[in-house]
Amino acid sequence: MQDQERPAGADGTAGIVRHRTFVAFRPPRPLRLDSGKKLGPVSQVYETYGQLNQDRSNAVLVFHALSGDHHAAGRHSPSDSKPGWWDNMIGPGKAFDTDRVFVICANVIGGCRGSTGPSSRNPATKKPYGAGFPVVTLRDMVRAQKALIDHLGIKRLLAVTGGSMGGMMALHWAIEYPDSVRCVIPIATAAYQSAQNIALQEVARRAIMADPNWRGGNYYGGPPPEKGLAVARMMGHISYLSDRGLQDKFGRRLQNGSGLAYALKPEFRVESYLDHQGEVFVKRFDANTYLYVTKAIDYFDLTDGSNNGGGFAPALAQKFRRSSAKFLLLSFISDWLYPVERSDELEQSLKLAGRPVRHETIHSTYGHDACFLEADRMAPVIREFLGGRKGERDGVKRRGRKEPVKICP
């Protein structure tokens, strides 16, 4: 069960890793989607870090966010300049200590990093699915990953976790497979996608679809809609940051010191920064995947619509009552995309359900991106929750008990 080719810690990370591919839901047993359509066969690319213990009880399933993938930690070669997207959280001595736990991360279905998605070949046509790919939900993605966990012979996970969309999937897992996980750690997330967030993502989707190169989603074999995707990424990236963070990093500083040009071109450093984010993103991400995955996030609603009038906690609590897990919620003061209030709502529902829950609010100026950047502040809380050392707790505002409580031994 080990994908590492060099011992973890040799370079201060989870080591040199390689991915694997798991194929399931082959006809005549395809994956039945929430839309009523069927998908199969389904490939899922995944990586693992650490060692699975003898009784297979130390596995942690990590779900990635919108722009992430299966490469969560380590490096693919000694010359690889960029480690996995959560390398600051996964590895020896880190929040998810690979000396103790076995971490799994898979690219979601609908993705563009090897798992079955719009850019994959449709077995019926022998061409990329394109716009013919069926709409998937986060619950569909979770169902697919449950098949992967079954394939690995893991009956019950130690924990499921993720930030943003990954946190939503962790919550789905707790409800869909209530006896198959001991600890749930949703980070910077919510029980439903808000109207504001749906609006932001719709503008981003429109930018992609307005690009002439999108061609109704069937652009494979020709120039991709890079301009539209770059604008979508710029829009999304703004929502991941905070006003304070942008002000501290860029302010109103100009790209050069020659003063205002009085021309319709980027002049402020923040403009150039966003241009760079768009340019880099289009080199590694598929436009159709952006459309499909953002739509899956927008469909996410554990309250089944009861949040439209408020007071949904009892209905959501009813779902959580089926879970046998213990919960750690992490939120960030400067996150306006999934603000602290959304985790407060989850905490209320979990308490009504009688589930053990802690909610930690972390002070950070990074905005929503804090769930991927504030490793030093998250790690002690997570290690403590999973039964490890307590560590320092700088910047963490405790909710409820003053003394640390070991929840997941």
Strand partners, 358: 328
Collect all residues with Cβ–Cβ distance below 8 Å to 318 and sequence separation of at least 6: 353
Active-site annotation holds for 77: no
Q: What DSSP character marks residue 394?
A: T
Cα 251 from Cα 243, distance rounded (Å): 10
Cα 227 from Cα 212, distance rounded (Å): 9
- Backbone angle region of 143, left / alpha / beta, with phi > 0 → left and psi within -120 to 50 → alpha: alpha
Residue 114 is encoded by which pair of tokens?
A: 């090897």
DSSP notation for 15-72: -BB--EEEEE--TTSPEEPTTS-EE-SEEEEEEEES---TTS--EEEEEP-TT--S--
Q: Catalytic residue among 115, 335, 343, 349, which?
A: 335
Q: Catalytic residue among 19, 172, 359, 368, which?
A: 368
DSSP notation for 288-346: HHHHHHHHHHHH-BTTTTGGGGS--HHHHHHHHTT---EEEEEEETT-SSS-HHHHHHH
**Burial of 248 from C-beta contacts in 10 A (0-12 / 13-18 / 19+):** exposed
Active-site annotation holds for 368: yes
Q: Catalytic residue among 115, 120, 164, 364, which?
A: 164
Residue 116 is encoded by which pair of tokens?
A: 């079955």
Cα 281 from Cα 228, distance rounded (Å): 11
Compute CA 319 distance to the chain's CA centroid, rounded to the nearest angstrom.
22
The residues annotated with a catalytic role in the active site are 164, 335, 368
